[in-house]
Structure formats: C-alpha cells, structure tokens
Amino acid sequence: MPSPWETKIAPVNGIKRIEPGDQLGEIIAAALKRSAFQLIDDDVVVVTQKVVSKSEGRLVRLDLVKPKKKAKELAAELGRDPKIVELALRESIRVVRKGHGVLITETRHGFVCANSGVDLSNVDEGYASLLPLNPDASASRIRKSLEKATAKRLAVIVTDTFGRPWREGQVDVAIGCSGIAPTQVLAGKKDPYGYLLKVTQPAVVDEIAAAAELVMKKLSLVPVAVVRGVKYSRDESGAKSLVRKRSLDLFR
C-alpha cells in the first residue's frame, strides 16, 4: 500500500543574500550540498520571483523614477506613490481595473496582477523589484545549472504572489517553469463514477507553487523549496502557455 506521505515539501535553507549577477542555480546547489540534501530525479525546485529578479538586476532605484502625468493622476486618485504607479504603467500593456486604492494591470507577459508585479517587499529601502523579463527562460537557466551540478533530471518553477478576483487573500502561482508540463489534461478521461470529463485541466505548476509557499512563507527569507513525489509530465511549453488567449477569455 503506498504511503499517504509520498509527496513531500522541504525548504532550502542557507541561501545567501542575492545580488545582481548571482548565478542562482549554483547558489542553490551549494546550499543543498551544505545541508546534505540530495536531489533525486523528478524533484521540482521552486524559486521565488524576488530572488530571480534580484539576480537578473530587475531592481529600480525609486529616486531615479520620474512619474509622468498619467501616473501622477492615477496615484492621486488611488492614494498611491506616483513612482510605483509609474513603474507599474511602464511594465504593463493596459490598466485592467482601478479603485479602492488598488491598480490592476496586465503585464507584457500577459499576467493580470496588482501593480504589474512591482514590489517593495524584501528589497533594500529605496528600491523596487520588477518581474523577470522572461520567467520561463529564468526557470530554464536555473534548471540546467542544477541538473549539471547534480546529474539529476529536474523541473524548476518560478513563483510570485497573486491576488484573486472574488476571493480575499493571495496565493503563490507559477510565472515561469521549465521541465514540467504546466497543466494536466484530463479531458476525455472518465471519473470514478464513469462521467466523461470535458474541460478538466488542473494547473499543476500553480498547485505546486501554492503548496511550496507553505514552507517558504513570506517573512522567513526562505526563497527556495523542493517538492518531491508529484507526478508530472516533462514539457517545455512554459508558464506562458497558462495565459488564456484573449479570444477565449470571457472577462476581457
């Protein structure tokens, strides 16, 4: 009988303070080695967006940001910092909603989130972090580096925290991935009662991202976790494939 604990999530402790230019794959491999934690085939390494952005130099000095007229007007309307609004507009292709002090935008990646992912948390005072330019490529670089260091077949997911319409609270989701199929297609299969599934498609990488956050947490300075025991398919379509086409989106 299989163990009910066959899926495990472990934080990776001992990750140093990340600076622009740091090679995350090498740093994660070194931290694992120091803790005597050995990766095995099909482990999923989950990495927070913040350390990815830091390593890629996606940091902006706020004193160098000059808000334009639109940013100033939106900031006054929402009660927000004009510099943050300016960065959010620069990183977006459109404003989706605004109100209640909140600015929801669609990023160049196609993500719909608050402030285009511009964030002040877990960065030095006076700086803001931006989302990676290509989170799937970031995940691929980290995966290849870790696979080289460990000689194991791995998957990597880059996560960020998103709010959800119609629900309070936030959850971590995958904004980039490599070596793992983002979804599991169950359409065409029958459930245990014989019902033919028509559209069921669990977003596996989002489920893993949310689960991993339980051990990484927001205030613990643990930016990496390893998820073991999840069955998934190998794939390189990336998290960009999770962005629904505009022609199929009922809310755009």
Q: What is the pLDDT of residues 207-229, one digit of tens each?
A: 999 999 999 977 678 999 999 99
This prediction has a pTM of: 0.94
Domain range summary for the chain, segments of one domain joined by +? 23-46+154-242, 60-127
Examine the pLDDT at 198 and tell me if it is beyond 80: no
- Span 60-127: which CATH code? 3.90.1660.10
Q: State both tokens at 45.
A: 């390494």
Structure confidence at residue 200 (pLDDT): 73
Examine the pLDDT at 63 and tell me if it is beyond 50: yes
Q: What is the pLDDT of residues 224-243, one digit of tens each?
A: 999 999 999 999 999 999 99
Distance between CA atoms of residues 217 and 170, nearest Å:
12
Q: Does domain 23-46+154-242 have CATH number 2.60.40.10?
A: no
Instruction: Write phi, then psi, for 122 (nearest 5 degrees).
Output: 60, 30
Cβ-Cβ contacts under 8 Å for 92 (sequence gap 6 or more) = 105, 106, 107, 108, 116
Structure confidence at residue 187 (pLDDT): 67
Structure confidence at residue 154 (pLDDT): 98
Cβ-Cβ contacts under 8 Å for 112 (sequence gap 6 or more) = 96, 104, 105, 106
**pLDDT band for position 28 (50/70/90)?**
very high
Examine the pLDDT at 151 and tell me if it is beyond 70: yes
Structure confidence at residue 201 (pLDDT): 80
